[in-house]
A = this chain, B = another copy of it.
Amino acid sequence: MTSAQKKAQAAVEYNAFLAVCPSRQLLDRISDKWVVLILCALGGDDSGETASTNAPRAMRYSELSRLLGGVSQKMLTQTLRSLERDGMLTRTVTPTVPVTVTYELTDLGLSLHDMTRGLRSWAQTHMSEVLAHRETYDARTT
């Protein structure tokens, strides 16, 4: 590879506005409420009662299943597998009886968690405001 070719390759940029760009598919994958909530859970955002509990941690499948209200076993399993495949979390099997399976964010997962924590927090913080806008909109259009 010539120096010019190397330079050209380094300059390749992904652009999620383009339908054919691989980053569009990745954006679609991470724009998913279960992805957001799993990352928030493993990032330690649950409860939020005391800031001291908000640290990343390993969680068992059953813990995740309990924390994420309404998630089906199929959806949780599929989402965890795709996050493992993408390098966002590790899955560790400990040979207890029965076996213990734990999930933990990688550095890559932690970097995405910065964004998903913000999304969940935004939804919770602005819920009342959004509800008020909906009322106004519905009153105006009906």
Q: How many copies does the complex hold?
A: 2
Instruction: Verify A33–B37 contact, CB threshold 8 A.
Output: no
| A3 within 8 A of partner (CB) | no
Chain A facing B: main interface SS: helix
Count how many chain A residues have C-beta atoms less than 8 Å from C-beta atoms of the other chain. 56
Cβ-neighbour of A122 out of B24, B32, B115 (below 8 A): B115
Cβ-neighbour of A33 out of B31, B36, B125 (below 8 A): B31
Shortest beta-carbon distance, A38 to chain B, in Å? 11
Neighbouring B residues of A19 by C-beta, 8 Å? 69-70
Name A's B-contacting residues (CB within 8 A).
Answer: 13-20, 22-24, 26-28, 30-33, 35-37, 40-41, 46, 48, 67-70, 84-87, 108, 111-112, 114-115, 118-120, 122-127, 129-134, 136-138
